[in-house]
Amino acid sequence: MSPAFPGTAAGVARAFVAGELRATDVCEAALDRIGRLDAGIRAFVTIDADGALAAARALDARPDRAQVGPLAGVPVAVKDNICTRGLATTAGSAALRGFVPPYDATVVERLRAAGAVIVGKTNCDEFGMGSSTEHSACGPTTNPWDASRTPGGSSGGSAAAVAARLVPVALGSDTGGSIRQPAGFCGAVGMKPTYGRVSRYGLVAFASSLDQIGPFGLTVADTTRVLQVLAGPDPRDATSARDGVPWEPVLDGRVRGLRVGIPRRWLESGVEPDVSARFDAALDVFRGLGVSVVDIELPHARHAIAVYYLVATAEASSNLARYDGVRYGGRVGGDGALTEMYARTREAGFGSEVKRRVMLGTFVLGAGYYDQLYMKALQVRTLLTRDFDAAFARVDIIATPTSPTTAFRLGERLADPLQMYLADVFTAPAPLAGLPAVSVPCGFSTEGLPIGLQLMAPRFEDATILRMADAYEREQPWWRHSPPGLFLEGTSTAGRGRRRAGEPLDGGVDGDTDQRERQQRQQHREEAGHGHGDHADDARDDQDRQEHQPQHQLQQEAEQQERQEDQLQQQLQQAPDQADDQQAAKDQDAQGQHIEHGTLASSPRPAAPGYEPCSYPVTQILRGRRPEGSGGPSSGGAA
C-alpha cells in the first residue's frame, strides 16, 4: 500500500505546516497512485517525477513551513496547453511535438510560489478544441466512473486526474465550457473565473476573447484556495483585470436571502430526465437554505452555441496561423514553394477537429461573409450580455445543469460534430459574456454517472458563486464518493458528513457524522425520487457504516479495495504483456514511438478503436535531463 495522505489540498497543506507530513511522502504517494492507475485512465501525458520530488525535498528542507504558502506540499497537475518551463507542452497536438517552453505561465509561477508541487501535464483536446478529450494526438482519456465514456473536454485529463484522486487539484482552461463540462462529467468541482481575473500569459491560445484558466478540485474549498493563488493582475497580460477588484471569498455556509434565477424556457428541451431530477433536487436544497428561487428569461441564450462557434473559430483561425513550420513546432520539409511547406506542415500537425474549426473560422472572416456572419455573431453576443445584465438586476446567481446529459460513450459523437458541440449548450454563454461560473457535483444518474450543477454570477462576483456552491456542498457532499475500484488510501473514513458553518475550510477530515445527518440525507434522497437502490446513495450509506466499524475491519476493507483496484486496472489497461521487457521495447519501436532522455511509464498503449496511434509518447516520466533541442519561441508570451 502506498503512503497515505489526506484527500484534499487543504488537508495536505495543513498537515505539512503542522509537521505531520513531509512533502516528499505526499509526492511519492501521488506518483505511486498515478503509476498504478493512470494506464487505464490516461489522464497524464507527461509525468515529471524527478522535478516533482526535487521540489518536494526543497519544501521539506525549509525551516519556515508556516510561510511556504496556501498550497504547501500539494501535488498539482497542469493541463498540457499551459506552459511549464523545461517540461514539454504540446496542447495535445502533433504540431507542438517536442516543444519545451523556456518559461512558466504566470499561473504556474504562482502555483510554485504558493508551495505547490507540479507532478505532470494532463491530456486535452488538441489546442482545447473539443468536448470529449477525444481530439488529442495522444488518444482519448477515459472517465474514471466508466472507462467506456468520455471525461468531457477539453480539460478532460485534469478532470479525470482529480476525480480519480490522482491529485487533489489541477489546472484547466475554459473557452466554451472546457473546465465546467468535464467537471460535471467526472464529479469534480470546476471553476471558470471572470474573464481577466486570472492571467492568460503562457496559455496556448485558442480564442483569445474567451480563453480563461481555472482550477479543478475535489471540494469547493480546495478550488477556492487554488483560485486565490492564481487571481490577480499581471503586467504581461493586457487582458488581466487591473482595477483592484476585492477578492475575499467567505465560505461560511450562510446564503440566506440570496436569489437564484432559473431560465426555465432554456431548459425545456434536450435535458435528460436524470439530469432534470438532480437539478430540481438541488433547487430544493437551496430553498431549504433560505435562498429564493425565481424564474428568469434569457431570450438570446438559445443562440449561444451558434455565436460561440462563429466567434471562437474566427479567433482560432487567426491564432493558429503561427504554426507554420517556421516559428513554432515541427516542420515538414520537401521541394516546392514556402506556401507548400506551410500546407504540408499543417496537414501533418493538425488533427481533423482543428482543421475543421480553422476552415470554418477562415470562411467566417472571408470577404462577403465577415459582416453577414462574424459581425452578426458579435452583435448577438452583445445582446446575450445584456440579457445577463438584466437578469442579474433581479437575481444574484443563475443556475442551470452543467450539461444536458451525463457523460456519453467514447466515439459516440465523433461522426456528428453538431451533437458534440451541443454538449456545451449551457456552458457556452458564460464565456461569451465574460461571467464567472462553477460546476459542482449534484448527484448521480440511475447508471451511476456524475451530474453537475452550474452556477453563474455577474462579472467579478466569483466569490458569490463559490459561497453558494460551498453552502450546497455542505448539505450534499457528493465529492466524498470516489469512482468504483479507485480507493484512496488513508481516507476511507475521513470527513463523513457535512461541514458546518464556521468550521475550517479544509474539506472536512474529522470523520464526524451522526445519525441525524444521515436521516436528513435520506429524506433529501426520497424527496428527489431516489431510494436505497440508487448507486450514489448506496455508496454514501456504505461510507457511513464504515465509521462505526472496528479498525481491523476497515483495514481488511482497505486491502480488499486495493485488490479490486488492481483488478480494475488490469481490465482497463489494454497494453501488451509487459513480462518481457525486450519484446515491449520492440513493440514500442514498431509503433514509431521514441523518447530521447526519457522512458515510457508503461509499455505502449494501443490505439483505441477509431483513433490513430500517437505520434509521440503517450506518457513519459522525465528523469535526469530535460529533452534537448526542443525548439519553440525564444522569449516569453502565450504560445
Catalytic residues: 79, 154, 178
Report which of 429, 439, 351 is spatially closest to residue 615, judged by C-alpha positions: 351
HEC letters along 596-637:
CCEEECCCCCCCCCCCCCCCCCCCEEECCCCCCCCCCCCCCC
The torsion defined by the Cα of 15, 21, 25 and 26, in degrees rounded to 10, comes to 0
Q: Which residues contact 488 (CB under 8 A, 6 or more apart)?
A: 7, 165, 482
Q: Which three cell numbers stand for residue 413?
A: 459523437
Q: 3-class SS at 482?
A: coil
Asked whether 302 and 267 are in contact (CB, 8 A), the reply is: no
CA–CA distance from 125 to each of 206, 415, 604 (Å)? Answer: 11, 16, 20
Q: Whole-angstrom Cα distance, residue 62 to residue 214?
A: 29
Q: Which three cell numbers stand for residue 546?
A: 464504515
The torsion defined by the Cα of 535, 538, 544 and 545, in degrees rounded to 10, comes to -140
Q: Whole-angstrom Cα distance, residue 524 to residue 536?
A: 13
Asked whether 380 and 307 are in contact (CB, 8 A), the reply is: yes
Report which DSSP code applies to 146: B
- What is the H or E stretch that residue 52 is in? helix 49-60
E strand residue ranges, 357-463? 397-401, 437-444, 450-456
CA–CA distance from 488 to each of 78, 85, 146, 168, 482 (Å)? Answer: 21, 31, 17, 11, 8
Q: Which three cell numbers stand for residue 130?
A: 473539443
Asked whether 104 and 84 are in contact (CB, 8 A), the reply is: yes
Distance of CA 591 to the CA centre of its chain: 30
Report which of 213, 154, 240, 206 is spatially closest to residue 318, judged by C-alpha positions: 206
Q: Which three cell numbers stand for residue 211?
A: 480563453
CA–CA distance from 330 to each of 200, 412, 590 (Å)? Answer: 24, 32, 22
Q: Whole-angstrom Cα distance, residue 274 to residue 404?
A: 10
Residue written as grid cell 494532463: 122
Q: Whole-angstrom Cα distance, residue 455 to residue 426?
A: 10
Asked whether 225 and 249 are in contact (CB, 8 A), the reply is: no
Q: 3-class SS at 283?
A: helix
Q: Which three cell numbers stand for residue 605?
A: 498503449
State the amino acid at position 331 in one-letter form. Answer: R
- Say how many Å lie between the first and final Cα of the chain, rounded: 41
Q: Are strands 117-122 and 75-79 parallel, antiparallel or unpaired?
A: parallel
Q: Whole-angstrom Cα distance, residue 273 to residue 104?
A: 44
Integer Rg of the chain from CA: 23
Residue written as grid cell 437502490: 533
